[in-house]
Amino acid sequence: MSLFGLSLGRLLEALRCLPGVGPKSAQRMAFHLLESDREGGRHLAQALLEALDKMTHCQTCRILSETDLCSLCADSRRDRGQLCVVEMPSDVQAIEQATSYSGRYFVLMGHLSPLDGVGPEALGMDLLAKRLDTDQIREVILATNLTVEGEATAYYISELAQTRGITTTRIAHGVPLGGELEFIDSNTLSHAFQSRRHL
Contact 79, 141 (CB under 8 A): no
- Choose between 54 and 173: whose C-beta lies nearer to its own copies: 54
Cα dist. 6→9, 12, 13, 181 in Å? 5, 10, 11, 55
Phi, psi of 142 (to 5 degrees): -90, 110
Is the distance from CB of 160 to CB of 112 less than 8 angstroms?
Answer: no
Give the torsion through C-alpha atoms of 71, 119, 163, 195, to 10 deg: 80
Q: Does 65 bind its own copies (CB under 8 A)?
A: yes
How many angstroms separate the CA atoms of 182 and 84, rounded? 33
Query: According to CB under 8 A, which one of 67, 147, 162, 195 is a site residue for its own copies?
Result: 67
Closest contact distance (angstroms) between CB of 115 and its own copies is: 17
- What mask of x and - would describe binding to its own copies in positions 76 to 105, judged by CB under 8 A? ------------xxx-xx--x---------
Closest to its own copies by CB, 33 or 83? 33
Mark the segment that binds its own copies (CB under 8 A) among 34-42, 76-84, 138-146, 148-156. Answer: 34-42
Q: Which is nearer to its own copies, 38 or 130 (CB)?
A: 38
**Least spacing, CB of residue 38 vs its own copies, in Å:** 6
- With vertex at residue 16, the alpha carbon angle to CA 11 and CA 17, rounded to the nearest 5 degrees, is 105
Residue 40 contacts its own copies per CB under 8 A: yes
- When asked if residue 59 is in the footprint of its own copies (CB under 8 A), the reply is no
- DSSP lists the bridge partners of residue 82 as 139
Q: Which residue type is seen at 117?
A: G
Residue among 111, 91, 113, 110 nearest 101 (CA): 91
Nearest-approach distance from CB 54 to its own copies, in angstroms: 4
* Shortest spacing between CB 193 and its own copies, in angstroms: 31
Binding site for its own copies (CB under 8 A): 2-8, 10-11, 13-15, 17-20, 25, 27-35, 37-38, 40-55, 63-67, 70-72, 88-90, 92-93, 96, 109
